[in-house]
Chain A
Amino acid sequence: MLSPRIDFVTGSARGSEIHRLPVVPRPPLSPALPVRLALERADAFDAGARLSPRELTAVRVRGIIAGTGEGWAMRREGWTSGERLIATRSVPPRVHGGHTHPPSPMWSRRSFLEGAVGAAALGAVVGSGLLRPLSAAAAGPGIGQVEPIPTVSDFFGVPSHVTGGPLEREVADPSSVYNFQGATGIAFVSGFCERRDRRSGETQTLPYLFNDMRFMKGVIRSRDRHIRPATFAFV
């Protein structure tokens, strides 16, 4: 068991304020290899190979990029490009007119294009982003008290507070929540699903790849510096 390090004295100077911590980005993947491996993997998937490129991206269920196989490329090559992590400044949300905007990524056209393929591959591993939680609205009160991990992955030039966990070449935090202590599970799961069109009745069997599911159950030190029990799902 981990040695207990919970300090229930709120407001303690122990521990760092997240916004004073560096955000740790990782560069986008080199586009060439993931694409090549993706094609190899798509050939191996019978169901996927029968689909047109348009259909390959048409499976809309969360965490699934059907048949693209980019996740396999990620598995083989690792989550990062192998370059060392570089500390940089954080990207706190912008506050305007009494409400908060998400971080506004500043990317150039060139960096966007360079990052797009690698980010797509990362997306397949992370969980494609096709179906996303209704975040704050669905999470209920308290989600605003939760800190994201400062480590970021680069998706389309957008620093995203998530790592690949066991898919990374180096030790990486599988939790997406910071100032957290407790049990964590991370899973990348593949399989098949059936899609049914309710209008036509047509059904189709499709693969899903590297569906990324996680949980975190324990305690957090929230933004108001209180220690709270909390359970999270990464969906």
Chain B
Amino acid sequence: MAQNGLFWTTVVSDDAVDVDLAAGTATLRGDGMKMKDYHDFENAILGNGDPPKQSSVSFTVRWRATGPVAVLDNEVQRFRGRFRDAEAKMEWSATSGQFDYRSAPLEDSRTEAAQLGEESNGFFY
């Protein structure tokens, strides 16, 4: 978590994301992003384990909307949006310590859940 409370979120360049909501497609890319490898989730949250290792990761994630538009609104969270269920596929590679990782090709990945859409929250709610 960043010091300002942001959870696993980083600013990326504008061209890291290509999105066309009319066509129902989007792509997120990262290339050689420097990361910290905390080994496990508890250590990532609490920092109570081994010090993290410097690592890097590259990835491509592609969304393709498949469902109808659903209007979402949560007044408590001050969030509303219009989202479509989607198929999402990804491939990635990473280096951490003595290990290299490479995923199977993008088309071999499996969508568990995905959405693509537009939203307004907080000030824009």
State which of B11, B45, B96 has its C-beta within 8 Å of the C-beta of A119: B45
Chain A hits for B33, CB < 8 A: 133, 138, 235
Say yes or no: A190-B74 contact (C-beta < 8 A), given A135-B10, A197-B98. no
The complex places the Cα of A194 from the Cα of B95 at a distance, in Å, of: 12
* B interface secondary structure, majority: strand
B residues apposed to A, CB below 8 Å: 1-14, 16-17, 19, 21, 26, 28, 30, 33-46, 52, 55, 57, 59, 61, 63, 72-74, 76-83, 85-86, 88-90, 92, 94, 96-104, 108-125
Docked-complex contact A191 and B103, CB < 8 angstroms = yes
Docked-complex contact A208 and B86, CB < 8 angstroms = no
- Is A148 part of the binding interface, using a Cβ–Cβ cutoff of 8 Å? yes
The complex places the Cα of A151 from the Cα of B44 at a distance, in Å, of: 20
The complex places the Cα of A100 from the Cα of B2 at a distance, in Å, of: 11
Docked-complex contact B41 and A131, CB < 8 angstroms = no
Report the nearest A residue to B41, measured CB to CB: A123
Docked-complex contact B94 and A131, CB < 8 angstroms = yes
Docked-complex contact B12 and A171, CB < 8 angstroms = no
Query: How many Å from the CB of A81 to the closest CB on chain B?
Result: 16
* A interface secondary structure, majority: mixed
- Is A233 part of the binding interface, using a Cβ–Cβ cutoff of 8 Å? yes
The interface size bin for chain A is 35 or more
Chain B hits for A18, CB < 8 A: 122
**Contacts A/B (CB < 8 Å), 8 sampled:** A2-B120, A132-B38, A133-B33, A138-B33, A143-B10, A175-B119, A189-B89, A213-B59
State which of A14, A184, A217 has its C-beta within 8 Å of the C-beta of B81: A184
For the complex of A and B, 6 pairs with smallest distance between CB atoms: A129-B44, A15-B123, A187-B88, A123-B41, A191-B109, A179-B122
The complex places the Cα of A71 from the Cα of B125 at a distance, in Å, of: 31
